[in-house]
Amino acid sequence: MTILIKWAADAPETELLRTEEPAEIRKELSTLGVRYEQWPTYDLAPDADQDAVLAAYRDEVQRLTEEEDFTLVDVMRLKNTGQEDFWEKAKAGREKFLDEHRHDDDEVRFFVDGAGTFYLNIEDTVYAVLCEQGDLLSVPEGSTHWFDMGEKAPEFTAIRFFHDGEGWVGDFTGSPISQNFPTHDQILASRAAA
Ligand SMILES: [Fe+2]
């Protein structure tokens, strides 16, 4: 289940909204130009490669690609199969986009499995969207945001959509704001405790 939490950017201690209701999440996010969809999910082999993932989601990928004129689609997979450098790689991958930044292209991700939280900082409001299997989220180009895949279980498979192979560079704002808000692991734990 997706979770949406909303705070004033200068008041991370007070949640203005917390919801796991997809229709409410879609409504909140659509006012920001953020696309949020839930797709049907398919069982995949544990060792499914990029082609197998894209074949399973062919119809949805094609629809979205046509609607949004994407020119590049790929699959990012972070999976712990016992490789020696897994935790080191996961840590580096997490830290890469944990600070506030923006891109020249939309950041569009469909979660085939695993989870991650996108945080958008738009007009003095921070929106955290914890995405899980079956969730698609788009962060519009130029929007300030950060992403946390968590430290405890940083495994996920995501289909990524691009308009431009070059647009994916992060332009970091230098703001420490991301440190003020609960992490992906903390949001997950807060749901378990509720
Ligand atoms: Fe990003």
Mean pLDDT per 10-residue segment, the chain (194 residues): 97 98 97 96 91 97 97 93 92 94 95 97 97 97 96 94 83 97 97 79
- Looking at residue 193, its pLDDT comes to 79
- Looking at residue 169, its pLDDT comes to 84
- Pairing of β 125-131 and β 116-122: antiparallel
- Looking at residue 46, its pLDDT comes to 83
Q: What is the pLDDT of residues 33-79, one digit of tens each?
A: 999 999 999 999 888 999 999 999 999 999 999 999 999 999 999 98
Domains of the chain: 3-193 (2.60.120.10)
DSSP state of 4: E
What DSSP line would sit under 133-184, residue for residue?
Answer: TTEEEEEPTT--EEEE--SS---EEEEEEES-TTTT--EE----GGGGS--H
**Structure tokens given for 122:** 């738009």
- Looking at residue 31, its pLDDT comes to 95
- Looking at residue 47, its pLDDT comes to 84
Indicate the residue type of 27: K
- From ligand 1's centre to the CA of 106, what distance in Å? 9
Residues making up the annotated binding site for Ni(2+) are: 101, 103, 107, 145
- Looking at residue 166, its pLDDT comes to 74
Residues making up the annotated binding site for Fe(2+) are: 101, 103, 107, 145
- From ligand 1's centre to the CA of 146, what distance in Å? 6
For the beta carbon of residue 36, count every other beta carbon within 10 angstroms: 20
Residues making up the annotated binding site are: 101, 103, 107, 145
**Non-local CB neighbours of 25 within 8 Å, separated by 6+ positions:** 2, 4, 19, 36, 129
- Looking at residue 81, its pLDDT comes to 87
Q: 3-class DSSP state for residue 64?
A: helix
CA distance 24 to 155: 27
Indicate the residue type of 123: E
CA distance 138 to 111: 12
CA distance 109 to 159: 6
Residue 81, Cβ density class (10 Å: 0-12 exposed, 13-18 middle, ≥19 buried): exposed
